[in-house]
Amino acid sequence: MNYTQYFQNCLMLKHSFLCVGIDPDPALIPDRFDRSPEGIYRFVTEVIQATKDLTPAYKFNLAFFEYWGWKGWQVLERLLEEMPDDVLLVGDAKRGDIGNSSKFYAKALLETLKFHAVTLSPYLGSESLQPFLQDETKGAFILCVTSNPSGRELQDHGGDFPLYRKTAEIVEKLNQKQNAGLVMGATKPEMLVEMRNRFPNLPFLIPGVGTQGGEAATAVDVCRKCGAGLINVSRGILFPSGGQFPENVRSAAQLYHEQFQF
């Protein structure tokens, strides 16, 4: 089964574009968990158990595991080995380097850790992206329009032909195996609509809904138009206000699952 088929199967099983972001900030996890690698493991495990029937995908932000050094890497490996087999696993690593370095980043994330897809930075051009797209069973989402305000300092550069549009053109050319997509922030809905119209066949990974205040309705609409996409919610599900853990996590995930249904 190639990447596109697996992606579509995961979406159809859950009938929602929801992606749960795994960003286990030790300062925010409930008090009953130790602020330690083992505490992070236990917290994430309970989050997965509470949400696994509601989401087609999980996005693991590697920064929250790398913080702990080799112990955090062990926790990440352990969690990935225990994940259900009906979800897309995205390694949010934002890698991007020259050819040989990029090749080994790809091996680390897609072979050693066995993520199905990764996030990539395009600043070094095609050479930095190609190693992640060679295997038709693996995929990548390339940063295009990010949800943070200062992203526009670079992404909008170029006037009538901005850098974010050039990025998407490069990704479209590299998408020979139908395993490339774009990271498109929900906090910039006018760009979401523009880029869906310009690049109708590229799936979007859409962060920014929830705590960052992105427009959910526009995000759902652009995913429906291409039939594929993920709308990521991290803190809004991991650390919802009110209620007892993990019931509050499940309640939050259910609300987003329903909001993002197709």
Residue % of the chain over a pLDDT of 70 = 100
The per-residue pLDDT for 226 is: 87
Calculate the CA 213 to chain-centre distance.
17
Query: How long is the chain?
Result: 262
Residue 184, SS3? Answer: strand
Pairing of strands 229-233, 180-184: unpaired
Catalytic residues: 94
Other CB atoms within 10 A of residue 156 CB: 15
Q: Identify whether the C-beta of residue 119 lies closer than 8 Å to the C-beta of residue 128.
A: no
The per-residue pLDDT for 99 is: 85
CA distances from 166 to 17, 119, 160, 172 (A): 26, 18, 11, 10
The per-residue pLDDT for 113 is: 97
The per-residue pLDDT for 160 is: 87
CATH level 3 topology of 3-259 = TIM Barrel (3.20.20)
CA distances from 79 to 41, 183, 190 (A): 7, 24, 37
Q: Identify whether the C-beta of residue 157 lies closer than 8 Å to the C-beta of residue 163.
A: yes
The per-residue pLDDT for 210 is: 74
The per-residue pLDDT for 214 is: 78
For the CA atoms of 106, 110, 116, 118, the dihedral, rounded to the nearest 10 degrees, stands at: -30
pLDDT tens, residue order, the chain (262 aa): 999 999 999 999 999 999 999 999 999 999 999 999 999 999 999 999 999 999 999 999 999 999 999 999 999 999 999 999 999 999 999 999 998 999 999 999 999 999 999 999 999 999 999 999 999 999 999 999 999 889 888 898 988 899 999 999 999 999 999 999 999 999 999 999 999 999 999 999 999 887 777 789 999 999 999 889 999 999 999 999 889 999 999 999 999 999 999 9
Q: Give pLDDT tens digits for 29-83.
A: 999 999 999 999 999 999 999 999 999 999 999 999 999 999 999 999 999 999 9
